[in-house]
Amino acid sequence: MATKKKAVKAKATTKVKIVKQAGTQAYEKALLKMRADIYRLVQGNKSPDLSATDVGDEADQATQSTERELMFELSDNERNTLDAVEAALRKIDTGAFGQCETCHKKIAALRLKAIPHARHCIDCQAKLDRPRR
Smallest distance from Zn ion to CB 123, Å: 5
The candidate with the shortest Cα–Cα distance to 91, out of 76, 80, 106, 79, is 106
Q: Does 126 bind Zn ion (CB under 5 A)?
A: no
C-alpha distance across the termini of the chain, in Å = 78
With CB under 5 A, what is the number of residues at the site for Zn ion? 5
Q: What angle do CA 84, 42, 119 make, to 5 degrees?
A: 10
Q: Does 128 bind Zn ion (CB under 5 A)?
A: no
The Cα 112–Cα 98 span in angstroms is 7
Q: Looking at 103, 109, 126, 128, which residue binds Zn ion (CB under 5 A)?
A: 103
Stretch 6-45: interaction string toward Zn ion, x if CB under 5 A: ----------------------------------------
Binding region for Zn ion (CB under 5 A) out of 14-22, 59-67, 87-95, 116-124: 116-124
The Cα 111–Cα 121 span in angstroms is 8
Stretch 71-100: interaction string toward Zn ion, x if CB under 5 A: -----------------------------x
Cβ-contact 42, 78 below 8 angstroms: yes
User: Which residue blocks in the chain are alpha helix, DSSP H?
Assistant: 25-44, 59-73, 76-94, 109-114, 122-129
Smallest distance from Zn ion to CB 18, Å: 26
Contacts with Zn ion by CB under 5 A lie at 100, 102-103, 121, 124
